[in-house]
Every structure is written in C-alpha cells, then in structure tokens.
Amino acid sequence: MTRNLDPHDVRLFSGRSNIPLARNIAQHLDIPLEETRFSKFSNDNLFVQLGASVRGRTVYLVQSMTPPVSDHLVELLMMLDIAKSAAAREIHAIIPYFSYARSDKKDAPRISITARLIADLLRTSGATHVMTMTLHSPQVHGFFSIPADPLTARMTLEQFIRQRPLDPKKDVVVAPDMGRAKPAARFAAGLGLPIASADKTRVSDTEVKIGGLIGRQVEGFEHALVYDDEIATAGSVVELSEVLVESGIKRITLICTHGLFLGPAVERIKSIPQIQEVITTDTVERPSERRPPNLTVLSVGNVFAEAIRQNYLRRSIGELFEGMET
C-alpha cells in the first residue's frame, strides 16, 4: 500500500464521474476520500460543497470528463474554485480521461480549439497542477500554462497481456491508424511482438474508412491485438477488424486505455465474432449496457496513487515510467 502522505495535510475529493476509481486511489494512498456534496436548485443550477476543510492543505480533485461531459466539467471547475476560495495551498486536478484532447486544432472555420480553452479554464478556476492519462493528441500537453503530467496505462496493460503465452509468429499488434503507430510500436516491443498499422480516413464523428494495412501485412498471423488510446463508438476498431478477418486473422483482442463504448459501440463489437476479448482500464466508469462481451477492466488506481505520492513528496513522476510513453 502506498504511504508517506500526511493525512492531516492532504485532502482527496471526487466529482461524480468516477467515484470507484477515486476510492481505489484513496485506498492505495491510505487516506480517506472526503465527502463532496452535490445537489441542484429548482432553476437547474448546480450546488457543490467540499465536506472537509482545505485551508492551507494540499488538495487533489478526481474527475473524468465522461458523459455528461459538460456537467462533469462544471463540477470540476466549481470544485477547483471552491478549493481556491477556501485558501488551499495546492490544488491538483486529477483527470483520468480528458475528453477534449480530441479538439486540439482548428480544422474548420469558426470553431474553438477546445482543448486549449479547457486548459485555460482549469488554471483560471484554481488548478495549480493537472494530472491525466493517455491524451488522444499528445500535443494538448503543451496547451497547459501550469504543470501537467500525462500518465500512461501501458505498463498496466502490458503486465496483464504478458500473463498469457505469446508467439511472435502467431500474434501481431495492430495500430488502427498512423497516429497511434508509435505508441502501438512501443507496446509491441514491450511484448516482443511484431507491429502492423492501418491506413484510416475519418468520414464523420462515428464513421471511418480503413484503406488497408501499411507496411507489414498480417497474412500468416492468427491473433491480432488492436491497440488504441480510446474506443468511443468503436467505428475504427470494428472497421479494422473486418479488414483483419479478411486477411486471415482468426482471433482479435481490442486493447485501449479509455473504453467509453458509446452509442452503437457494443453492437458493433458483437457483430465481429472474431473479437474475443476487450481489455480496458477504469479511467471511465460505464454502466452495464455499455459493457461489451468478454470485457476485462484493469484498474489504474495504483498508477494515479503512486504519481500523487511522487508529486506530494517532490519526487520525479517520470521515474515511474522510465522507458514508457503513452
């Protein structure tokens, strides 16, 4: 169990997006998860109250940006503002899933670069530091004008996969597009497996076209491990799975850090019988209807807890992930 935190100095609170993960973090840190009170007024305005004094203390606020994203974002901003107004010494926003990391550029006229806007709002609301995990667009890290630490779940995922027999002549890691090719290559290297990558064109928010595989082909392999940062509507991974099956792949394992499984995702995954396992983490809390068959959820509570400990003790967080990148 992770220790070395002063329970009289540290306060850990959670929004409503992922209370089980926050409890897991608290358990690893051996500190209580303090109460946070939420309610709504008759005019639909949100009321938030932190249930313990934060004056002069180090405060950690856990909140994922999961649906309903706007509600959870406002909760977090209010919690940050409360901690700042109540004279907390340090205020750390722990955001396991940062959904606006997709909005990293102006790729159409008259739109917002929302990731930068959210980064500014977090700072303005009182955050002195942000900790998140596996940003969809790594360059979003540069939008923060306060210290920000994007953690990785790769070690957790690798350790789980290594528990089963792997054969570099039968098993291959596949990236769904060139943007994820480098992280997938690192993941494959950690497992001692070859890597392949797909050529993807996005048609809409929920539809993609896979033009084929780039470089290494998968003929002769039996099992594909599709490695992505997140699965939302599953359009990319299912389209890729169809290409893999046509190429002779008999078994497919989907692996991602953030498993949202929104809209048609579960039915899409069910439509490909060769998808025999889905592995994700608990950065996102999901109801039972958004859980595909054969889903395995690995906790990253220990990863966040250890990073929080390193941060509190003024030690390098990077030491936890030497040789690891998202």
Question: Taking all residues of the chain, what is their mean pLDDT, rounded to a whole number?
Answer: 92
Say whether both 232 and 283 belong to one domain: yes
Say whether both 137 and 49 belong to one domain: yes
Say whether both 114 and 161 belong to one domain: no
Which domain, by its residues, includes 141? 10-152+301-321
Say whether both 116 and 20 belong to one domain: yes
pTM of structure: 0.92
Q: What is the pLDDT of residues 45-55, one digit of tens each?
A: 999 999 999 99
Q: Which of 169, 200, 209, 250 is catalytic?
A: 200
Six-digit token string for 306: 């250890």
Q: What is the pLDDT of residues 223-243, one digit of tens each?
A: 999 999 999 999 999 999 999
Say whether both 62 and 176 belong to one domain: no
Six-digit token string for 258: 């953030």
What b/e readout covers 173-209, taking b as 16+ CB neighbours within 10 angstroms?
A: bbbbbebbbebbbbbbebbebbbbbbebeeeeeeebe
For residue 4, being part of any structural domain is answered with no
Confidence of residue 26 (pLDDT cuts 50, 70, 90): very high
Q: Which of 38, 27, 34 is nearest to 301 (CA)?
A: 27
For residue 5, being part of any structural domain is answered with no
Per the structure, the count of domains in the chain is 2
CATH number at residue 230: 3.40.50.2020
Q: What is the pLDDT of residues 35-47, one digit of tens each?
A: 999 999 999 999 9
Say whether both 109 and 192 belong to one domain: no
Say whether both 201 and 287 belong to one domain: yes
40 is catalytic: no
Say whether both 160 and 250 belong to one domain: yes
For residue 2, being part of any structural domain is answered with no
Out of 61-70, 190-199, 274-283, pick the least confident. Answer: 190-199
Cα–Cα distance, 187 to 193 (Å, whole number): 9
The count of other CB atoms within 10 Å of the CB of residue 46 is: 12
Pairing state of beta strands 46-50 and 36-40? antiparallel
Cα–Cα distance, 324 to 152 (Å, whole number): 8
Whole-number pLDDT of residue 13: 99
Confidence of residue 201 (pLDDT cuts 50, 70, 90): low
Say whether both 69 and 138 belong to one domain: yes
Whole-number pLDDT of residue 1: 45
Say whether both 232 and 216 belong to one domain: yes
* Rounded average pLDDT over 302-308: 98
Question: Which residues are registered as beta bridge partners of 256?
Answer: 228
Say whether both 188 and 263 belong to one domain: yes
Say whether both 141 and 166 belong to one domain: no
Q: Which of 8, 23, 10 is nearest to 91 (CA)?
A: 10
Q: What is the pLDDT of residues 149-161, one digit of tens each?
A: 999 999 999 999 9
For residue 170, being part of any structural domain is answered with yes
